[in-house]
Structure 1
């Protein structure tokens, strides 16, 4: 049965939007947003350093980043629902095995292998591919709506994880989240499919001057990407937004508790980020269809830099919530701007390859930022130097977004 035939034609687009929302909710919630809540327990259980605990999330970002290029290549050759199903099963198995870990290195190893499938197979790469093949006229807006799944994960999973932590312990929490992940399997198998015949007629828009269309000819090479200013703007700008999120999700709850907040209140900081990011994703989704996408990216980076300064200046709970609100706006730029800017620069015909290449090139940034935060905390005993460093790095990416160059030939 072809994708979409399981639902009436008029509902196929909305169903794909709901599916993308749920895929991002499940890939982000248990893996990223719940982990920061469990991090203090992992330190206590295994006697691990903050840097070692942060290494698990770093491993996900690094491994999934390195795997993105081959997955982008595979996505042009095999059905998307095969890839997404691998993400569901790998994530569920990994979370269940983490519940039985007896040493911190086992947690890191599982995050670097099975759980990494969430980010590359169930997360933004495959979701972007799915949405881009179903929507054109409203692609930016739809990507913003789907990105709300990540914000919903930030709102609901931290307090849920804190509740499970108190009721079942962190091991029980991981088992519950493994079971929830499996519930997504039937929907992914039947609905995560490209439309037959290309973008549906109701989503196509007439060609206009300057519009990027699906390019003809052979796919772009790595050399072409590396010589492209657009490639580096996307890699450095979106990579910084993604790495900031990894660093914040690994450390924000611990930072709140270090400033005297209880576990549930500290977890609510992540929920605050998620609530603001919901508005930010809709705003950036609309902007993606209407303005120069580089300026949307720059606005997200500027908000991220300001938020890091506010985190560094915070001395108690109220300023932390202000910083979390500002950071949520920055996070809102990540998914809609990445997807729409990549399509604009490289076209839909080579979209999967371009997404995979940019995601793979972001790997060093995603590797460095969470480890930097953990290492600076272990060295200084405070998170404030880490927030200051992240602010400087966001401003550097903002400056580099003004790179311009001739699009190289293939």
Structure 2
């Protein structure tokens, strides 16, 4: 009987680690109302902490990818999980809004950002040649699904035992994953004397210079191409319409219409369940279909669904809302596998680091949307303008995705220029 390739074990450990870190990503939507009730902070103030978290979560990504190249995935991911655990646990001691920004925003933002989606991209680059798109989809689903599936548990804890119990639960979950990562995750197949799954031979890896130099050098090269900016703007809109808006404000928006928070949290958990199918299917499709076409379809369909959402809110989860939840779940992070595939195809060996910069734009978009939606709610009394604006932006992202060019034009000599 053929033995299981070690790549699958490494991928399984990474999947669990990503889910563990995703736990804290679930807490903003659950804790907005409890924090507002206990401390009297406005939704705009609380959303600012969410925005700082999302911003750092993204801006760390390109440097984290380079750090993983330099120091190894195991060290970087273990430290990241410890930061998440510390930030979440210390939150229970806070008494002022600036502490929320420092702990929830800065510390946890740095921790989650240090493993983010670049972890999945780096791991699949090193360990998989065959099934690379599929595994990228599975790991991506782990992050988004872990974030959303935690919601009912955290919402129940926050309702029954207070928001501090929810924060401590997330801290414990992140800590529990650290030994698993340290003892079972390995940086490269060559470290174990084997080759990547589907590879014809070992890869000689030579670490580059400093992480910052590597990250900034990849950015300078990619920024000369139009396709990079199409990917950046499109993924910024992706972040705004998922983590920033729906992930952060769906629960309080539903609560505004009389829906209990635990019910709204359960609906987001359903998004997480269907996200598994949608993202894995997207990963499989990205191995077989032009990734530009996939992105165009995903953004267009997401935009149309958001334009309908304001009419679906009610005190109960009626069938039309359930249809939206299922559809949005299938599309939640389906954009990630084709985006990773395009970065890999266009930018070659720097693809993972370039994806880190593209992912940074995702979180910048999410951060802007999180604060903008909170301020919109404070001033207008509802979220309608935020939903409509995000829907229109998704249609813009669909157009930009269709315009991406992946052609490689060779120049005289050993190098080639990537255009588009």
TM-score where L is the length of structure 2: 0.86
User: Given that residues 272 and 324 in structure 1 are in contact (C-alpha distance below 8 angstroms), is that contact kept between their aligned partners in structure 2?
Assistant: yes
Shift of 1:201: 5.1
Aligned twin of 2:13: 19
Contact 1:284 1:336 in 2 (8 A): yes
CA distance 1:149–1:196, shift in 2 (3 Å): closer
Q: 2:61: which partner in 1?
A: 68
Alignment of 1:385-400 (within 5 A): 385-400=385-400
Q: Deviations over 1:208-232 (max 9, x none)?
A: xxxxxx9xx9975433211212312
Structure 1 Cα separation of the partners of residues 382 and 267 of structure 2: 18
**1:372 is the counterpart of 2:365:** no
1:340 equivalent in structure 2 = 341
CA 1:388–1:128 in 2, change beyond 3 Å: closer, same or farther? same
Q: 1:270 aligns with which of 268, 271, 276?
A: 268
Aligned match of 1:83 = 76
Q: CA deviation at 1:323?
A: 2.1
* Cα 1:310–1:192 shift into 2, 3 Å: farther
Match of 1:298 among 296, 299, 305: 296
Partner-residue secondary structure (3-state), 2:70: coil
Deviation for aligned residue 1:130:
1.3
Aligned to 1:243: 240
- Cα drift, residue 13 of structure 1: 1.7
- Deviation at 1:362? 4.1
Residue 231 of structure 2, aligned match among 226, 230, 234? 234
Residue of structure 1 equivalent to 2:413: none
User: SS of the counterpart of 2:4?
Assistant: helix
User: RMSD in angstroms over aligned alpha carbons?
Assistant: 2.7
Instruction: Name the stretch that deviates more: 316-325 or 262-271.
Output: 316-325
Aligned-partner Cα distance in 1 for 2:285–2:368: 30
Deviation at 1:361, TM superposition (A): 4.1
Structure 2 match to 1:356? 356
CA distance in 1, matches of 2:134, 2:118: 17
Partner of 2:257: 259
Q: Which whole-Å deviations, capped at 9, do the CAs of 1:279-314 have from their partners, x for residues lacking one?
A: 111210111100001111122212321221121221
List alignment gaps of at least 5 residues for structure 1.
1-7, 207-213
> TM-score scaled by structure 1?
0.88
Deviates more, 1:37-46 or 1:395-404: 395-404
Q: Say whether residues 1:43 and 2:36 are aligned partners.
A: yes
| DSSP-derived class of the 1:333 partner | coil
1:6-53 per-position Cα deviation (integer Å, ceiling 9, x unaligned)? xx9734122122122212212222x22232112110111121221222
For 1:150, the equivalent position in structure 2 comes to 143
Q: Distance in 2 between matches of 1:201 and 1:113?
A: 36
What residue in structure 2 maps to residue 112 of structure 1? 105
Whole-angstrom distance in 2 between the partners of 1:338 and 1:264: 33
Contact 1:70–1:356 (CA under 8 A) maintained in structure 2? yes
CA distance in 1, matches of 2:196, 2:100: 47
> In structure 2, what is the Cα distance between the partners aligned to 1:196 and 1:15?
11
Question: Does residue 1:200 correspond to 2:195, yes or no?
Answer: yes
Shift in Å, 1:205? 7.0
Q: Is the 8 A contact 2:273 2:329 kept in 1?
A: yes
Change (3 A) 1:120 1:53: same
Deviates more, 1:143-152 or 1:294-303: 143-152
Distance 1:201 1:362, change over 3 A: closer
Cα 1:105–1:329 shift into 2, 3 Å: same
Deviations 1:240-273 (A, max 9, x none): 2223222211111111111111121111121121
Alpha-carbon distance in 2 for matches of 1:168, 1:40: 15
Q: 1:326 to 1:310 in 2, by over 3 A?
A: farther
